[in-house]
Amino acid sequence: MSDSLPILPEPQWRAGEHQLLELGTGPGVATGAGADEPCLRADAARNRARLLEAAARLVEQFGAAGVTMEAVAAAAQVGKGTVFRRFGDRTGLLMALLDHSERKLQAAFLTGPPPLGPGAPPVERLRAFGVAVLRRAVDELELQLAAEGEPDRRFASAPRMVLSAHVGMLLRQAIPGADCELLAKTLMGYLDPALIHHLTKQCGMAPARLEAGWIDLVDRITGGAPSH
Amino acid sequence: MSDSLPILPEPQWRAGEHQLLELGTGPGVATGAGADEPCLRADAARNRARLLEAAARLVEQFGAAGVTMEAVAAAAQVGKGTVFRRFGDRTGLLMALLDHSERKLQAAFLTGPPPLGPGAPPVERLRAFGVAVLRRAVDELELQLAAEGEPDRRFASAPRMVLSAHVGMLLRQAIPGADCELLAKTLMGYLDPALIHHLTKQCGMAPARLEAGWIDLVDRITGGAPSH
DNA sequence: TAAGAAAACTGGACCACGGTCCGTTTCGCT
DNA sequence: AGCGAAACGGACCGTGGTCCAGTTTTCTTA
């Protein structure tokens, strides 16, 4: 009975998608639509590119709501099944669309210049981190919102976990005695796209106030730890 | 052309649903399936009760995923359109299902005994509040998760806003100078059902640690404000 | 380098579910 | 009883997601 099922279709979407920390290869950020797909058949890679391009076109034309799996497939002249095979589900496609700026952010705080990157004291890096995420959010808000899938996958997504781990690391440096894992989740909660959307778009709060709120929050949580 | 549309279907689902603070009528908590629908036609009220009962049955039988609008309608011997007319959408139905415990919680911290209710110092009330929400979450986790609809409605839902407002009020008492609205959202983020699910079910974190984390968080944010 | 086989990919038919619409029925009031 | 408003119910639609038969690519072997 074990030979009838062909070893599971093997979810190979996720190959090359939002990987966690694989950016020790080159000096800077990937230059956009370069060669970043390691092991993908020629036609598959081609179709993947066409799908992403089509999806991006749909986004800027009709907004995130216009990114329908069938529409993307049609626009890319590809079968619907192909879209799902490549990206798993709608959420996966949207996340792939966000992947580029995601990596840019990761590179910035992992290997970039201070105060975001290494070199500055942790509390200062924390402050810069939040501001960077907030600024990035105001651009891609719609996409980021649409990319939030089921509630239980929100926190399990690779990009979110990278950010959370980074915050946790900085917190451990700033306040070694605390439960930094939990505090990191709290800080990340402040940067939830849905919250940002709610506060800026529905409550009409100015982004500057959000940034100030982040600074204040970091200071409170780190309890006036030495910032330099 | 203006007489053809009957003045808008008038979204009267929400009548009697998760209202904000209407609980000054009785001494204690509503006794379950009592008379809490003010203005609803007889057949409508009857069907509403049948629908809720059917939905609850489905939840305990197949879990929240089993609460399909068609299944609920069928189980209640009612047309599908009726379900939508009454509850607006799936989210509305799930929220109605949670309404009861929601009101119990609200009553507890609004008019109940200290330390949750009025009478205790604000910081202490904050601590008790978080613990209460965390404890409630471990029961209804699945339902609460399922009831989270679109990301942009998460923060706009009436129950969530009530809790947030309450936390904000306590914070204003504890730390008058701060941006308490923002800090309240942060604290509420810690109590996000999706986060609780992630930490307890996916990361295997013990609820006790979450509760301790809440206490710590409150203390950090209120900056050692007098707790008595 | 050519041929053959296995693995991987493709694409569209198919399904389930959320949500809408509108003709029909029931209720509550006078 | 009669009337208008409200509620009912199920046909209908769009979309996310699955499945599998057929095709293409790549690997192996000669």
Which of A152, A199, A201 lies nearest to residue B198, judging by beta carbons?
A152
Q: Which of B156, B190, B202 sits opposite A186 (nearest CB)?
A: B190
pLDDT (0 to 100) of residue A90: 96
Q: Please, which pLDDT band fits residue B149 given cuts at 50, 70 and 90?
A: confident
Contact between residue B154 and residue A194 where contact means Cβ atoms under 8 Å apart = yes
- CA B117 vs. chain centroid, Å, equals 18
Does the pLDDT at position A32 exceed 50?
no
Q: Which of A32-46, A70-84, B85-99 has the lowest mean pLDDT?
A: A32-46
Q: Amino acid letter at B197? A: H
Q: What is the distance, to the nearest Å, from the Cα of residue B103 to the centroid of all Cα atoms in its chain?
A: 8
What is the dotted CATH code of the domain comprising B91-221? 1.10.357.10
Whether the CA torsion A59, A63, A64, A65 is positive or negative: it is negative
Adjacent-strand bridge partners of B97:
none
Between CA A152 and CA A158, with CA A157 as vertex, the angle to 5 degrees is 160
In sequence order, the 6+-apart residues with CB closer than 8 A to the CB of A27 are none
Cβ pair A30, A172 in contact under 8 A: no
Q: Give A202's pLDDT tier (boundaries 50, 70, 90).
A: very high
CB-based contact B217 A186, cutoff 8 Å: yes
Contact state of A195 with B183 under an 8 Å Cβ cutoff: no
Mean pLDDT of A149-172: 94
Q: CA-to-CA distance for B192 and B200, rounded, in angstroms? A: 12
Would you say residue A214 has pLDDT above 90? yes
> For A156, which of B185, B202, B210 is closest by C-beta distance?
B202
Asked if residue B93 lies in contact with residue B72, where contact means CB atoms within 8 angstroms, the answer is yes
Query: Which pair of tokens denotes residue B189?
Result: 């983020």
A216·B185 Cβ contact <8 A: no
User: Which residues make up the CATH 1.10.10 domain(s) of chain B?
Assistant: 34-88
For residues A193 and A144, the answer to whether their CB atoms sit within 8 Å is yes
pLDDT in tens, A48-78: 999 999 999 999 999 999 999 999 999 999 9
Q: What is the mean pLDDT of chain A?
A: 85
Could you report the per-residue pLDDT of A108-142, keeping only the tens digit for each? Answer: 999 999 999 999 999 999 999 999 999 999 999 99
Task: Assess whether pLDDT exceeds 80 at residue B26.
Answer: no
Question: What span, in angstroms and rounded, lies between the C-alpha atoms of B160 and B153?
Answer: 10
CA proximity to B15, closest of B77, B96, B104: B96
> B136 beta carbon < 7 A from strand D?
no
Looking at residue A152, what is its pLDDT?
86
Q: Specify whether the CB–CB gap between A67 and A93 falls below 8 A.
A: yes
Task: Return d(Cα B227, Cα B153) in angstroms, integer.
Answer: 34
CB B188 within 8 A of CB B218: no
Q: Which residue in the block uniquely carries the two structure tokens 């509390």?
A: A123
d(CA A209, CA A215): 10
Residues of chain A with CATH 1.10.357.10: 90-222
At B14 the pLDDT is: 53
pLDDT > 80? residue A23: no
Q: Is the pLDDT of residue A3 over 60?
A: no
Exposure string over A162-190, b if 16+ CB within 10 A, otherwise e: bbbebbbebbbbbbeebbbbbbbbbbbbb
- Looking at 1.10.10, 1.10.1740, 1.10.600, 2.60.410, the CATH number of the domain B34-88 comes to 1.10.10
Q: Read off the pLDDT band of B13 (50, 70, 90).
A: low
pLDDT band for A6, please (50, 70, 90 cuts).
very low
The highest-level CATH class for domain A36-88 is mainly alpha
CB B79 within 8 A of CB B50: no
In percent, how much of chain B has pLDDT > 90?
77
**Predicted local confidence at residue A66, as pLDDT:** 94
In which residue ranges of chain A is CATH 1.10.10 found? 36-88
**pLDDT higher than threshold 60 for residue B11:** no
Q: Domain spanning A90-222 has what CATH number? A: 1.10.357.10
Three-class secondary structure assignment of chain A = CCCCCCCCCCCCCCCCCCCCCCCCCCCCCCCCCCCCCCCCCHHHHHHHHHHHHHHHHHHHHHCHHHCCHHHHHHHCCCCHHHHHHHHCCHHHHHHHHHHHHHHHHHHHHHHCCCCCCECECHHHHHHHHHHHHHHHHHHHHHHHHHHCCCHHHHCCCHHHHHHHHHHHHHHHHHCCCCCHHHHHHHHHHHCCHHHHHHHHHHCCCCHHHHHHHHHHHHHHHHCCCCCC
Of A91-100, B89-98, B146-155, the one with minimum mean pLDDT is B146-155
Instruction: Mark yes or no for CB contact B217/A192 under 8 Å.
Output: no
A78 touches A4 (CB < 8 A): no
Most A CBs within 10 Å, among B90, B126, B141, B182, to test the A interface: B182
Q: Rounded to an integer, what distance in angstroms lies between the CA atom of residue A96 and that of residue A108?
A: 19
Confidence of residue A39 (pLDDT cuts 50, 70, 90): confident
**Confidence bin at A15 (pLDDT 50/70/90):** very low
Spatial distance between the Cα atoms of B209 and B213, rounded to a whole number of angstroms: 6
SS3 B120: strand
A26: left (phi over 0), alpha (psi -120 to 50) or beta: beta
Query: If you average pLDDT over residues B194-213, what whole number do you get?
Result: 96
Q: What are the tens digits of pLDDT across the range B37-92?
A: 568 899 999 999 999 999 999 999 999 999 999 999 999 999 999 999 999 999 99
Cα torsion angle, A99, A88, B92, B79, sign = positive
For nucleic chain C, which protein residues have CB less than 7 Å from any of its atoms?
A 10, 12, 40-41, 43-44, 47, 77-82, 84-86; B 41-43, 67-70, 80-81, 84, 89-91
Residue range(s) in chain B whose domain bears CATH number 1.10.357.10: 91-221
Interval B135-148: pLDDT, tens: 999 999 999 999 99
Start-end of H helices in chain B: 42-62, 69-75, 80-87, 90-111, 122-147, 151-154, 158-174, 180-190, 193-197, 207-221
> CA gyration radius for chain A?
19
